């Protein structure tokens, strides 16, 4: 298996340890907004390291899970599109029996494992694309900030509703990027969370935690 390239190693070296804004119980390795990668001659070559940020939807969902541990305590939890794994780590800290991170980017799973170790919890991980798959053995499905454009929302929401219809608790953290995508979902909480790529919380964005039925 080929090893990481120089750009990947550089990016990982730029991560810094932060107390997650709005979720200070957790410490995460994240990419600060002044990292050299974002000022490189051709930053587009790096791609977007979604796993290097605590996105607002994930932050809101993590806060909700820690505030309401009964939602996950003793249960099997799937964190779909896990990224840096903030919501998965929150679920593990809140007493989940088993937590699986799912992200198609292998770098996200590496980041999640590093963040989990930093916070003293253990997670399982898979790069299998689970969208459209009928889930088995899952009690709670956590989805943080995955409705980032209309095309993905049109694929994602019907699948989430199908899982909810099968008795899975489906919780979504979302800053409502796609108008109307989550219409009809029950709003459980609203939190002011850091704007994209801003681990210091200097710019906040109202973000909802919703339950899909």
Successive 10-residue mean pLDDT values, the chain, 213 residues: 54 90 96 77 65 94 98 98 97 98 94 97 97 96 94 95 97 94 95 89 94 96
Q: Which residues of 85-117 are buried (b: 16+ CB within 10 A; e: fewer)?
A: bbbbbbbbbbebebbbbbbebebbbbbbbbbbe
Which pLDDT value is given to residue 40? 62
Q: Which CATH number fits domain 6-212: 3.40.50.150, 1.10.1040.10, 3.40.190.10, 3.40.50.880?
A: 3.40.50.150
Residue 11 near residue 52, CB atoms below 8 Å: yes
What distance in Å separates the CA atoms of residue 104 and residue 138, rounded to the nearest whole number? 19
Within 8 A by CB and 6+ apart from 124, the residues are: 98, 99, 100, 101
For the chain, domain boundaries: 6-212
Tokens for 18, please give them. Answer: 């932060």
What distance in Å separates the CA atoms of residue 209 and residue 190, rounded to the nearest whole number? 6
Within 8 A by CB and 6+ apart from 86, the residues are: 20, 23, 26, 28, 54, 58, 59, 61, 62, 115, 144
């Amino acid at each position: 298996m080929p090893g990481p390239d120089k750009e990947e190693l550089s990016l990982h070296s730029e991560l810094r340890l932060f107390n997650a804004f709005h979720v200070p119980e957790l410490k995460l390795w994240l990419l600060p907004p002044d990292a050299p990668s974002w000022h490189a001659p051709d930053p587009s070559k790096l791609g977007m390291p979604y796993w290097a940020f605590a996105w607002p939807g994930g932050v809101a969902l993590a806060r909700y899970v820690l505030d309401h541990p009964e939602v996950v305590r003793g249960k099997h939890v799937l964190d779909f599109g896990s990224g840096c794994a903030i919501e998965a780590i929150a679920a593990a800290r809140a007493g989940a029996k088993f937590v699986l991170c799912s992200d198609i980017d292998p770098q996200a799973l590496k980041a999640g494992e590093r963040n989990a170790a930093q916070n003293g919890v253990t997670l399982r991980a898979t790069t299998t694309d689970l969208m459209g798959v009928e889930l088995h053995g899952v009690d709670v499905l956590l989805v943080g900030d995955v409705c980032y454009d209309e095309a993905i929302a049109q694929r994602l929401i019907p699948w989430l509703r199908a899982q909810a219809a099968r008795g899975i608790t489906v919780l979504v953290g979302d800053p409502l990027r796609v108008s109307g995508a989550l219409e009809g979902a029950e709003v459980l909480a609203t939190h002011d969370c850091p704007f994209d790529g801003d681990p210091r919380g200097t710019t906040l964005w109202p973000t909802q935690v919703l339950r899909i039925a």
